[in-house]
Amino acid sequence: MCDILRRMTATNTERIFNFSAGPCTLPLEVLQQVSDELPNYQGAGASLIEMSHRSKQVVSVFEQATQGVRDVLGVPDDMHILFLGGGATFQFGMIPMNLLAPGSDGGKSADYIHSGAWSKKAIADANAVGKANVIYDGKDSNYTTLPDAASIKTSDDAVYLHVCSNETIGGVQFDTYPDVPCPIVADMSSEIMSRPIDFSKFGLIYAGAQKNIGPAGVALVLIKKDLVDQCPGNLINYLNYANHVKGESMLNTPPVFQVYMIKLVMDWLKAKGGIDWAQQQAVNRSEILYNAIERSGGFYKCPVDAKYRSKMNVVFTTPSEDLDAGFVKEAEALGMSGLKGHRSVGGCRASIYNAMPIEGAEALASFMDDFAAKNG
C-alpha cells in the first residue's frame, strides 16, 4: 500500500480515492454535514426531504443554492438559474424544443460541434426536433482533438452554437470558445465550477450535477433572460423554460435533496477559495497525472491532442488490454477505484473533479510509476 493511502487509513476516514466519472467523489465535509443534519434539519424534527417544498426551510435552501451558484460562478443578473429534474440528458432535447423548434424562431437551424460521445447524443436529440448542422466532426481524429476556436464559423441562420465543453469519455476539453454572432449553448456537465466562465459568449449553460456540484438526477441550467422570452408557448408545461423560471425551479415537486447538496457544495467551494482555487487545483491535479504519463517512456499513452487534454478526465492506455485490466484491478486493491475507461473506448480513465484531493492524484501517479516499472 502506498504511503498516502496508509495515511488515509491511519486517519480512519475509511475513504477510498474515487476516480469515477460521475457519480463521483464529493467533499467529505459536505457528506458529514448531510449525515449530521439529515434526520432533524435545524431543529425542525424532520429532514428536509420529508418537508413540503413550499416550507420556509426548503424555499430558503433553494434560494441559498441559487445565490451560491450565482456567487461562486459570478453569474450575471441577465441569466436565470434553474435546477431541473432529468439530468443533462433531458436538456439535450429541451434546448432544441425551446430554442430551435418551429415557433421558437421560425424553425431555423442550430450549429453543433461533434466532439465525442456526449455531443453526439445532443445532436441526435436536436435532429429529432429540428435541423442540427454539424459544423465540425472530430471523427477523423477519433475524437481526440478539437477545432481551433478562431476557425469556428457558424452558419448564417444558426440560432445557437452547441458545444460540449469537456467530453467526459474522450477526455477532450475546449481551452477557449469562439467569437460567433449567435449565443453559445454549452454542456458543461463534467467541468462546471472548475474554471471561470466568460458569460458574454453564452446563451445557455447546462450541467448534470453528479460531477462537480452534487448528486445525480438534476441539471443546473443557466439561461439568458432574452432566450427565455423566445420559448414557444405551445410546449407542454414541464418542457418550457419560461414556466420553470416563473415557478422558481418548483414547477412540480422538485429534487430537494439534490439542491440541498448543491447548496452545501457551493458553501464548501466558497470556503475553499471559489473558482480560482478550483481552477488551480484542476491544473495541479491534471499535471501530476499527465506528467506520470509522459515520464513513463511510452508505457502509458494518452491519445488526446496535448492542447485539448482535459483537466477533469485523464484518459490513457497501457501497452495491452490485459495490462489495462491489471492496472485497474491493482489500483482498486490499493483503494483507488473507478479507473476503468468507458466501455465504448476501453483503456483507463482518471476523473479528477473538484472534490478529489491533490493527494489522490499523487497516490495514483506514484502507483502509475510502480506499475510501469514492474510491467514495462
Ligand X SMILES: Cc1ncc(COP(=O)(O)O)c(C=O)c1O
Nearest distance in Å: CB 168, ligand X: 3
* Residues 6+ away with beta carbon under 8 Å from 365: 288, 289, 291, 292
Site string for ligand X, 207-246 (x = CB under 6 A): -x-------x------------------------------
3-state helix, strand, coil in the chain (%, to 5): 45, 15, 40
- Nearest to ligand X of 190, 249 (CB atom): 190
Q: Cβ of residue 310: shortest distance to ligand X, in angstroms?
A: 11
Angle at alpha carbon of residue 271, lines to 265 and 276, rounded to 5°: 90
The catalytic position among 105, 111, 125, 187 is 187
**Binding of ligand X at residue 351 (CB under 6 A)?**
no
93 forms part of the interface with ligand X (CB under 6 A): no
Please pick, among 105, 108, 111, 118, the residue that the annotation labels catalytic: 118
- Ranges within 145-184 binding ligand X (CB under 6 A): 164, 168
Q: Is the Cα torsion angle 231, 233, 238, 239 positive or negative in sign? A: negative
Taking residues 247 to 286 in sequence order and writing x for each that binds ligand X by CB under 6 A, - otherwise, the string is: ----------------------------------------
Of 118 and 299, nearer to ligand X (C-beta) is 118
Name the residue nearer to ligand X (CB basis): 154 or 168. 168
Q: How far is the CB of 147 from ligand X (least distance, A)?
A: 18
Residues with Cβ within 8 Å of residue 331, at least 6 apart in sequence:
337, 339, 364, 367
Helix (H, G, I), strand (E, B) or coil at 253: coil
Q: Which is nearer to ligand X, 95 or 275 (CB)?
A: 95
* CA–CA gap between residue 286 and residue 3 (Å, rounded): 20
Q: Cell numbers of 33, please? A: 454535514
| Cα distance between residue 368 and residue 309, in whole Å | 18
Residue of 18, 4, 94 whose CA lies nearest to 351: 18
The answer to whether 312 and 304 are in contact (CB under 8 A) is no
Of the residues 26, 30, 65, 88, which one makes contact with ligand X according to CB under 6 A: 88
With beta carbons less than 8 A apart as the criterion, state whether 313 and 24 touch.
no
- Taking CB positions, which residue lies at the least distance from ligand X? 87
**Which of 18, 98, 104, 189 is the binder for ligand X (CB under 6 A)?**
189
- Residue from 118, 143, 268, 299 that binds ligand X (CB under 6 A)? 118
> With binding defined as CB under 6 A, does residue 87 bind ligand X?
yes
Q: Scanning residues 50 to 79, which ones bind ligand X (CB under 6 A)? A: none
One of 25, 98, 104, 190 touching ligand X (CB under 6 A): 190
- Active-site residue flag, 118: yes
Q: Which is nearer to ligand X, 110 or 164 (CB)?
A: 164
Tell me whether residue 60 or residue 142 sits nearer to ligand X (CB atom).
142
Which one of 22, 171, 215, 347 is in contact with ligand X (CB under 6 A)? 22
Backbone angle region of 142, left / alpha / beta, with phi > 0 → left and psi within -120 to 50 → alpha: left
Size of the site for ligand X (CB under 6 A): 12
User: 56 catalytic, yes or no?
Assistant: no
Q: Which of 89, 155, 230, 375 is in the footprint of ligand X by CB under 6 A? A: 89
Residue 375: Cβ-neighbour burial (10 angstroms; 0-12, 13-18, 19+) = middle
**Is 187 marked active-site?**
yes
Stretch that binds ligand X, among 144-152, 185-193, 228-236, 246-254 (CB under 6 A): 185-193
Angstrom CA distances, 309 to 19, 64, 135, 154, 263, stand at: 17, 34, 21, 24, 30
Which residue intervals of the chain are DSSP H helices?
3-10, 28-37, 56-73, 87-99, 117-129, 225-229, 241-246, 256-272, 274-294, 321-333, 358-375
CA atoms within 13 A on the CB side of 38: 11
Contact residues for ligand X (CB under 6 A)? 22, 87-89, 118, 164, 168, 187, 189-190, 208, 216
Give the residue numbers marked as catalytic: 118, 187, 211
